[in-house]
Chains A and B, each alone.
Chain A
Amino acid sequence: MLEVRDVVKRFGGLVALNRVSLTVKQNELLGLIGPNGSGKTTLFNVITGYYRPEEGKVIYKGDDITGLRPHLIVKKGIARTFQIPKPFGRLTVLENVMSAAMYGRKAASRSEAREIAMEWLDYVRLGEKADVEAKALNIVERKLMELARALSTGPDLLLLDELVAGLNPSEMMDVVKLVRRLVDERGLTIIMVEHVMKAVMSISDRVFVLHRGSKLAEGSPHEVARDPKVIEAYLGEPIQV
């Protein structure tokens, strides 16, 4: 479904992504992990058009989408959340999510958009906050709103950037289950960047490890967790599965 081919992204002298190749299959949940600064968010930014790579290609459903502007990537059916949530603070939660339905892939009318938005807000259990200004939400709610907003664009492929970071363990497991359900019940394909190992390892079909801008390992959560290179990269930190 998505193929990232030999992507190179430099910032001045720093090579943030060094010949990274990655494929994602339809209806798969891919966990993308790696230490801080390993290039995970950069890779997201390349896929979603925020960065144009110096080399390499991004192919989505057979189309070359490399360097396409972000709003056009959304129209192709790829949506994302941001590591630090970016709510439209002075719009209500409902308007935030409606904007995605109206400007996203389907270009829904206002009334359709309202329905789509309410449906996804209820899905992430934020329905009762619909009329609140987004800036009044706490961090957990902001993350959930961003998830609902991304979903309202009508994506086939969803990129989640540290969705559960900052949540307490029980909130985290709730959100993780919700993400898994999106794949199992709604047929979405998801790449999720996550620092919390327990979260990634428990729900991913496959895990891809980035380290200093290159691929370090790839495989099932079990394989990756036992890979000596991965353990070393995390400074011997034992990975819990």
Chain B
Amino acid sequence: MEVKLGGKLVLAAVLLILGAIFPLFADEFMVSILMQAYLWAFLALSWDVIGGYGGQFSLGHAAFLALGAYTSTILLQSYNVSPWIGMWAAGLVAGAAGALVGIASLRLRGPFFALGTIAFAELVKLLLLYFKGITGGPLGILITKSGPENMLFETQTPYYYLMFVLVIAGILFLKWFESSKFGIGLVAVREDEEAAEGVGINVYRVKVIGAAISAFLTGIGGTIYAQWIHFIRPDILVKLEYSTQIAAIDVVGGAGTPYGGLIGALILVPLSLYLNALFGGMIAGLSIILYGVVLLVVVVLVPGGIYGLIRRKLLRRKPQMGGK
């Protein structure tokens, strides 16, 4: 037990150090790829709260990403509020929208919930287009400020560290969350709603708050994303492709676990960037097809995702190790 814990700590420390010194050895391009993997990992971890632990398969998380991005960007461009503060407002706005989706989940089950979240994302896109005065409509908003105090950097490396910290914070949050009272309640609801009510859990409340937490975190991710690309527009943010990517990364990595998002992102993000670079814009919707196929394969062949697979392998090996 202690050896195992020690082993885990050593592994975590090695990975942390590798992650921290990576930009010293890699070129800007590699740093940028890994940085994007972290960003998507954080979004997948955020999705995991409601999608993995809550068992509500959302395909509308791009909407929360966009709401977060717009909130902090509008605050920055129009009101000169630094995104370091604006990101919390972004989380709150996205979280409030998440609560609405949570309310929908009380009525819509399984595939119907997924369809409902797609519709919700489309609605958010339409609203962003409609309120031109605030959002810039189809032209979007260009971030024209600069400086670290506005979370804007000249090179990729600071963004790398920003997202590195973000993803570590996300993993630590899920580690804490999954054994918290609320986390246990959320999983209980996922596993059996009637039994959950039978132990005193307010199922409605847990579902709504779960969706709100997930959207809150995704909204913060939206701020960081906007700060990195410097430019937001409804049609480049609220994409079904993004919603699918968030969910697929988490499911492939291992939904309902603290590490699934990171594992999935480290595999899928470089792969999809590579394929997109290879084929350019020649094949429309290529990454959707990629995610669709990978998702199908994982769901059929390795339920529990890659993390689940690794864990099962380790657990199976354990008795032999004990025997030696």
Contact = CB atoms under 8 A, between A and B. Distances in A.
Contacts of B261: none
A98 B197 contact: no
Contacts, number: 81
Interface stretch (B38-46, B93-101, B198-206): B198-206
B198 A79 contact: yes
A153 B200 contact: yes
Interface string B170-198: 00000000011100110110111011111
Interface in B197-241: 197-203
Contacts of A99: 184-185, 188, 196, 199, 201
B184 A95 contact: yes
13 contacts: A69-B197, A71-B200, A87-B192, A88-B187, A88-B195, A88-B196, A89-B192, A90-B187, A91-B184, A95-B187, A99-B201, A110-B181, A152-B199
B200 A90 contact: no
Nearest to A105: B200
B55 to A, nearest CB: 10
A103 B201 contact: yes
Interface size grouping (class) on chain B: 20 to 34
B307 to A, nearest CB: 14
B249 to A, nearest CB: 21
A102 B194 CA distance: 17
Given A99-B185, A103-B185, A90 B196 contact: no
A103 B191 contact: no
A71 B197 CA distance: 5
Contacts of B254: none
Interface of B: 179-181, 184-185, 187-188, 190-192, 194-203, 256
Given A74-B198, A82-B195, A110-B180, 19 more contacts: A70-B194, A71-B197, A71-B201, A71-B203, A74-B197, A75-B200, A82-B194, A87-B192, A89-B191, A90-B190, A91-B184, A91-B187, A91-B188, A99-B188, A99-B196, A100-B199, A102-B184, A103-B201, A152-B199
B199 A149 contact: yes
A194 to B, nearest CB: 19
Contact of A74 (B180, B181, B199): B199
B199 A103 contact: yes
A70 B192 CA distance: 14
